[in-house]
Structure 1
């Protein structure tokens, strides 16, 4: 079955890579953002380092013991989320996690204690007092620092904030942020229809929800708070993704929050929970390191398989080249040349660019069908991974001709390109490959990007290997 777009004349490449489905995203990428709360995080780190180092020294520890204990404890604090950006800072919220981190580092450096009288007698006579003093010092220093940070917020202009939604929750949120600068957010306006009751808004109304792209481009806020905007939530997804890619912090008020739907990980603003969406691209250095390691090991371990596949392809295709090269679109709409084992030779370059599927093409021989059915034809793409064109896991790359068509037709399709494309992906392990729904693939790919984790990548790779070995079961 040939995809309907295969019969459509190619369109010119759009100059703006962020255009999708007839609309444009806000031009926010040119702004350099330090991010609300970065100086607060640095202040908390400095406070913890000073407190822990001072207590360790007073307890009679050597310099190596003090440095080891302090550095590891602060690192564990970071992993546990004690330096995460927050609207309301309170040491009481972190007591349990801080205590676990401190218990973990207490044994370290114990053998480095000075055999002198530097430590007070009560420390030496009662060793259990050291962890008590360490924990107490943390609570006291954190309390003082949090109070100072809140005071600084009240005296300075907060992060410029746009509240999306002019219902009861949106107007209440704008009013609270306007009257209480302790949260560090300064509302510059609300976006949405005029209030039904005919009353005014706590801050200036900047436009309707349909004008959000233009409002964000004009006012360039640091923070966007989305309450219940009125139009379909799906209409805002592309805009909010563009905001996050440009470094804008996005908070969302979850629906049915009165039923404790957002109990985990939410911050409260006068009883209204806000869920902070992650900023920037997932994966980063860790994902790239796994790609290099996995592709390198794959090429080494699968070398005999690669040689056997190459020999079979050469035997069946006769004079044709073993490796088939084709232009695809990768991350941030960058073109690259993908490599596969050849399963047929296209009659022309145009056919290679616009022919949607060759599964039922009579020109595909038995070897080619075997390679395609087992996905062994994809193995040369391990070289693409090493070169940085692709990742082991990610949305599958498509040809420029089809990218242009799909971008215009399927909402969210262009958002797939905010992450490196992959050999396999979340959509592929759910059977969405070949001549299957592009809309479904788009939804699965964007779900993967929004919920990326190392565990999810490992799960996808394991299921891909299982599928290739015919042991995968739905």
Structure 2
């Protein structure tokens, strides 16, 4: 993987994305040339239309990122990739229409745009047919050696077996664990020179997966491996990079303290984030007020009770605030105000409520909380105080998620389906900690774009 703005991007995704940008640029130029030849017109030098070509490629690439064209499922399935590419091109044209309205000088003729869309769709689908399984093969996967043969090593083995994995384990070395569970692991005593062994396996990385590190670190081996040019990593950092979350099973307080991240020196980023929140919330409140009004009327017609409801949530630094949402459940959904987890096919949800939850319309009134500064557009979802009290007792580091402002959408929301249990909260906490640790405007932009995918293909909404 390559690290861009503190976020890791798989090599296969980066390679495919660069090829797509070139194909989009070429499709836009080909559409222009073909149409002018049909009209019998002279083709000007390409420099005269360079801004139009770049805008076309950029708009469609943004749309492709937004709908999940580079997601693991789309990389593994040509059918899903094709469906998402067609949706992305449609959304890209809508985005281009907005750009052309604001700046007519950047526009193509509609006939040129139609040709460019067709060429782009054919080229990118053809590219995925041509590459086939290569994107998920060992060509783009890093070769790693695991030091350890216990349960932690078994977790890496299971992770490597997943189709979307970006690495392959080429060897396990048993470091005298009492609970050895990797039968193919080679005992350290059977290897004369561990550094030479790693080099012979053509490994690019060694991952330390010992069950007990106290007085057990093979410092001499690790130093020799490091000086051969092979990267040495420990399991917590490795899992953070590969899964996009902070693994609570392997992490310890010292790792959180001494690893990079949780930087407070990001004043410009914070100012930019707040300016975006204010501008975007004002725009959405103004533009979507008619939609919210229509939904509110539909809620009132379907069931008794107010269309909006306030619910106490825990915000940044543990301070409480009132979160406003469109009501999606019956008025008597919670007896005596007792907080209750939502369930799959929850009978308390109304028909209108089920729809607005799937497309996330019930969240729109929270733009008011964003405007007031109680929330941000991107951040961990704020929880009920009753749930927070229980979760802080049962999950380590849960309080740390409150060090950043809560959000309407977040890293957990786009990566993990809706869940309402302690285990679901644990999984989401790992994503929330990753966001808090690796925050950057780039990650915020990626989350906002990927939220479109969640709305188009809602999974697990309750």
The structure with the larger Rg is 1
- Report which of the two has the higher share of helix: 2
Q: The TM-score by the shorter chain falls in which range? A: 0.3 to 0.5
Please give the TM-score of this superposition, normalised by the length of structure 1: 0.41
